[in-house]
A and B are shown apart, each in its own frame.
Chain A
Amino acid sequence: NAGVMQNPRHLVRRRGQEARLRCSPMKGHSHVYWYRQLPEEGLKFMVYLQKENIIDESGMPKERFSAEFPKEGPSILRIQQVVRGDSAAYFCASSLSVGFNEQFFGPGTRLTVL
């Protein structure tokens, strides 16, 4: 049973470009969470999604960031017009159901903005 998959593992973008990060949850999991880890910091919650719905986006920056989890395909975290401060590791996690709140993490995407 494959774990949470994220790609790419490493992404380099120049300032002003767009970054698209993909996350495929564990088989059977319909809840996806995105977190950001800045250097020397813990993970910060960004957004929680179920299929075709954003449940909680209280941790998402108000501008340039968006997330989706379509009926088919992976969850996408999209960052438009990236800036150097967006450089971080972005982790995706998935869980089985609402009441079972154990989250399984992917290996992360390390975004570097030049």
Chain B
Amino acid sequence: GNSVTQMEGPVTLSEEAFLTINCTYTATGYPSLFWYVQYPGEGLQLLLKATKADDKGSNKGFEATYRKETTSFHLEKGSVQVSDSAVYFCALSEITGGGADGLTFGKGTHLIIQP
């Protein structure tokens, strides 16, 4: 079955530091890959996505590249802000014969940015 593994948190960084959150996946086919962000007390918001190998998803200064050879989709940002403090989820989805299936999520990485 499909699975997503992401680095354990919490990750604590100072403002303007460089961020990497690792994510690797196992899938039977050719999944689409996503990063979602969850702020306290809220639902998940799509941050970025990539639908095929070597695609780079980017949004709000965050980016991630779909690496099929290493089955990875690491999230990076060059200079984090306090407002980036949240829980980040890596996820994948495959289109099966029955249609779009549910997302498979990693456990989430809690990011804390200190001023």
Q: Tally of A-B residue pairs with Cβ under 8 A? A: 71
B residues contacting the other copy or chain, number (CB 8 A): 25
Tell whether B55 is near chain A: CB-to-CB under 8 Å. Answer: no
Tell whether B45 is near chain A: CB-to-CB under 8 Å. Answer: yes
Instruction: Say how far A6's CB is from chain B's closest CB, in angstroms.
Output: 8
The complex places the Cα of A71 from the Cα of B32 at a distance, in Å, of 30
A105 touches B100 (CB 8 A): no
Which of chain B's residues has its CB closest to A43's CB? B105
B45 touches A105 (CB 8 A): yes
Tell whether A27 is near chain B: CB-to-CB under 8 Å. Answer: no
Which of B44, B99, B105, B107 is within 8 Å of A55, CB to CB? Answer: B99
7 closest residue pairs by CB, A with B: A45-B102, A42-B105, A101-B100, A98-B99, A105-B43, A105-B44, A42-B107
